[in-house]
Homo-oligomer: A and B are copies of this chain.
Amino acid sequence: MTLARALFAPRAVALIGASGDAAKNSARPLRFLRKHGYAGRIVPVNATRGEVLGERAWRSLAEAPGEIDHAFIMTPGDSVERALEECGARGVPVATIFSDGFADAGAEGAARQARLIARARALGVRVLGPNSMGVIDIPGRLALTVNAVLEADGLPAGTTSMVSQSGTMLGTVLSRGAARGLGFSKLVSVGNEADLGVAELVELLAADAATQVILLFLETVRDGRALAAAVRKAHAAGKPVAAYKLGRSGLGAALARSHTGALAGEDAALDAYFRDCGMVRVDQLETLVEIAPLLAGRKPPDLARAARVAVVTTTGGGAACVVDRLGMSGIGTFAPDSGSPIVDLTMKATAEQYTAELDRLLAAPDCDGVLAVVGSSAQFHPQLAVEPIVRSRKSAKPLAAFLTPHAEASLALLAAGGVPAFRTPESCADALAAYFAWRSPRTAPAGKADWPAGLPKKGRLDEAQALELFASLGVPVVEHAIARAPGWSHAIAYPVAAKVLSAELLHKTETGAVRLNIADRAAFDREVQTMLGRITAKAILVQRMETALAEAIVGYRDDALVGPLVLVGAGGTLAEIYRDFALALAPVDEDEALAMIGKVKGLAVLRGYRNLPRGDVGALARAVAAVSRLALLPGRPVAEAEINPLIVKGDGAVAVDALVAMKE
């Protein structure tokens, strides 16, 4: 019995703690399994009753006959541990635990969960949960869940599967899809992910013949490396993975943390992570419901330029709502052979004309996709536009539809025809933007880097050491020397900058430990004395003064969730205030670094903004790539590093200020 079969296609399920009161949550799995036609054996376990909702029940799992493939544990408190022991004793391969009070309930609960999972490992029982709402397989008729959405009749089967860190949101997506004919295959609520996590489930779904598209509802990412590997496997299997991720605002991130006990990551880092492993990220919740037909059977478009969508509409205002929104994502719209951004057929097209127009647009060169906006005919006259859309020639280019009125029958027609169709202009534009931003999983540049002999591997490097490390990776660094007491001599040509050399001293500028533009030796001696009057130091870092066309910040962080990241931004306080930077998973090559630089608005000054002199963008890109090679150091000892500023000149770039902090 494979894990996938035990999870999704068990021949027998035990319902531990099944209630005889049909109104209770713990009666739901039995009711739902029956209602949706589960073909296997149901084994209710109830400590006090011999019968549950008309089904023979057992006092304990030990007493129940036959082989059990999957146990669903609903009992409160310590009885969970007892139930797990019984699963182990009976050789049950998988237990889904609905009971809560584990990592979802503070430090004590987390410790209890750790003990439970250690015991499960020893017993050889895989665990979904705790705090999981269960597992659903619509075509397989398995409704092993407490999720009330299963009260619905006739949920449509499909080839979209979903893994959710929120059990209730499974029901949301399922119920909204069902209302408009969008069917699902397997749906899993992972709860606390104590054992089986999102990553392993994505891997199972990547190998699942009944799954074409995988949707994720994420509150956090618990095992970044494993999830990235699983998403890459799904890509290799031709199965797109799309995610809705909470935590875009600080408030949402705090809530995700407090709600699930999980650590929430910085949103921009997660964006870089999703892009890197080839995941599609949606912004609006309903896009998650609607996007599957846009992705099914498609590969990432990997566009190297801004996307262009041809638009045909029977409502000028309705089309404008989407076009306006697409423009905010940098997506252009056009009508072939016309200067207009749309083909407006309001109140004038027959079905034949509409079909001809669709064919023309799908065949238009430089067209990356077609958007059909349908007005009131979608509600009352589907033959005019909706049916031609369903019948249109299938093309590698996506054809998406936005229906402006309330038109569920037409949405269902489009769903049945496999046409991506959207209820709101916002989710339509969101889906198209997410699709066109979709990239194949990235192959990080190969290579290795060596730790310079003699540099400490703990704590914080002093600035001379930090410059040495960056230079060893290929970053051009400012000409510098160390002046020492008592003579403070050095060989750097004036004007120079002088900084107290100390790994401990942070915020050097604010504490007066930095002096710039020192014109000559006499001034240098004065400045050194002034600094030493405030700060005890044995060494001073002397640097040649450099003049900048522009200043950049280049950073590196080995993120606990997503791994090593490289950052580039414009230098200075304003850029910091605007949080104007680009992030990518490290290492990156020079081309990738150039693409990052292109996303930083403030670095427009380097690209010849308003006749300002152009800076050496290539040198900046090489420096970013060099910094990103911190990720290639054996054992990845660096926790955080930053060059701020990296001075960009008309010819070349040079690091003048550097920080490096080790993990230990």
State A449–B407 Cα separation when bound (angstroms): 57
CB <8 Å contact, A578 and B605:
no
CB <8 Å contact, B168 and A381:
no
With known contacts A255-B323, A317-B168, A342-B255, A379–B152 Cβ distance under 8 A: yes
State A321–B605 Cα separation when bound (angstroms): 37
| Contact of A297 with B by CB under 8 A | no
Which residues on B sit within 8 Å (CB–CB) of A314?
A: 168
Which residues on B sit within 8 Å (CB–CB) of A25?
A: 347
Which residue of chain B lies nearest to A342 when distances are taken between CB atoms in the complex?
A: B255
Which residues on B sit within 8 Å (CB–CB) of A325?
A: 248-249, 252
| Contact of A445 with B by CB under 8 A | no
CB <8 Å contact, A573 and B609:
yes
Query: Among A6-14, A34-42, A118-126, A172-180, which stretch is in contact with chain B?
Result: A172-180
| Contact of A426 with B by CB under 8 A | yes
| Contact of A301 with B by CB under 8 A | no
Which residues on B sit within 8 Å (CB–CB) of A248?
A: 324-325, 327-328
State A510–B608 Cα separation when bound (angstroms): 13
State A611–B577 Cα separation when bound (angstroms): 14
Which residues on B sit within 8 Å (CB–CB) of A285?
A: 321, 424-426
Kindly state the interface size class of chain A when it binds its partner. Answer: 35 or more
Q: Contacting A168 at CB < 8 Å: which of B315, B406, B602, B605?
A: B315
Which residues on B sit within 8 Å (CB–CB) of A255?
A: 319-320, 323-324, 333, 341-342
* Residue with the highest number of chain B CB atoms closer than 10 Å, among A377, A379, A602: A379
CB <8 Å contact, B380 and A317:
no
| Contact of A572 with B by CB under 8 A | yes
Which residues on B sit within 8 Å (CB–CB) of A246?
A: 317, 320-321, 324
CB <8 Å contact, A611 and B510:
yes
| Contact of A64 with B by CB under 8 A | no
Which residues on B sit within 8 Å (CB–CB) of A425?
A: 285
Minimum distance in angstroms from A185 CB to a CB of chain B: 19
Which residues on B sit within 8 Å (CB–CB) of A346?
A: 168
| Contact of A151 with B by CB under 8 A | yes
Which residue of chain B lies nearest to A249 when distances are taken between CB atoms in the complex?
A: B327
Which residues on B sit within 8 Å (CB–CB) of A149?
A: 376, 379, 405
Minimum distance in angstroms from A578 CB to a CB of chain B: 5
Q: Contacting A574 at CB < 8 Å: which of B256, B570, B610?
A: B570
Q: In A634-660, which residues have CB < 8 Å from any B CB?
A: none
With known contacts A285-B321, A375-B171, A574-B572, A380–B148 Cβ distance under 8 A: yes
Which residue of chain B lies nearest to A168 when distances are taken between CB atoms in the complex?
A: B315
Which residues on B sit within 8 Å (CB–CB) of A260?
A: 316
Q: In A571-590, which residues have CB < 8 Å from any B CB?
A: 572-575, 577-578, 580
State A346–B172 Cα separation when bound (angstroms): 14
With known contacts A424-B285, A426-B284, A601-B578, A175–B405 Cβ distance under 8 A: yes
State A115–B372 Cα separation when bound (angstroms): 37
State A164–B377 Cα separation when bound (angstroms): 19
CB <8 Å contact, A317 and B252:
no
State A347–B146 Cα separation when bound (angstroms): 10
With known contacts A149-B379, A255-B342, A601-B578, A172–B405 Cβ distance under 8 A: yes
CB <8 Å contact, A179 and B406:
yes
Which residue of chain B lies nearest to A610 when distances are taken between CB atoms in the complex?
A: B573
Interface flags, A370-405, vs B, CB<8A=1, else 0:
000001110111000000000000000000000011
CB <8 Å contact, A324 and B252:
yes
State A331–B253 Cα separation when bound (angstroms): 14
Minimum distance in angstroms from A171 CB to a CB of chain B: 5
* Residue with the highest number of chain B CB atoms closer than 10 Å, among A171, A253, A315: A171
Which residue of chain B lies nearest to A23 when distances are taken between CB atoms in the complex?
A: B381
CB <8 Å contact, B219 and A320:
yes
| Contact of A489 with B by CB under 8 A | no
| Contact of A336 with B by CB under 8 A | no
Minimum distance in angstroms from A8 CB to a CB of chain B: 22
Q: A255-B333, A259-B344 are in contact. List 16 more A-B contacts (CB 8 A).
A: A148-B375, A148-B379, A149-B379, A166-B318, A171-B404, A172-B404, A175-B405, A176-B406, A251-B327, A252-B324, A252-B325, A286-B424, A286-B426, A573-B610, A574-B602, A578-B602
Ordered by A's residue number, 24 sampled pairs between the chains whose C-beta atoms are within 8 Å are A148-B375, A152-B379, A166-B315, A166-B318, A168-B314, A168-B315, A168-B375, A169-B317, A169-B318, A171-B404, A175-B379, A249-B324, A249-B328, A250-B327, A252-B325, A255-B320, A255-B333, A256-B324, A285-B425, A424-B424, A426-B426, A573-B605, A574-B575, A578-B578
Binding site for B on A (CB under 8 A): 25, 146-149, 151-152, 164-169, 171-172, 175-176, 178-179, 217, 219, 246-256, 258-260, 284-286, 314-321, 323-328, 332-333, 340-342, 344, 346-347, 375-377, 379-381, 404-407, 424-426, 510, 570, 572-575, 577-578, 580, 601-602, 604-605, 609-612
Closest 4 CB pairs of A and B: A166-B317, A252-B324, A249-B327, A251-B327
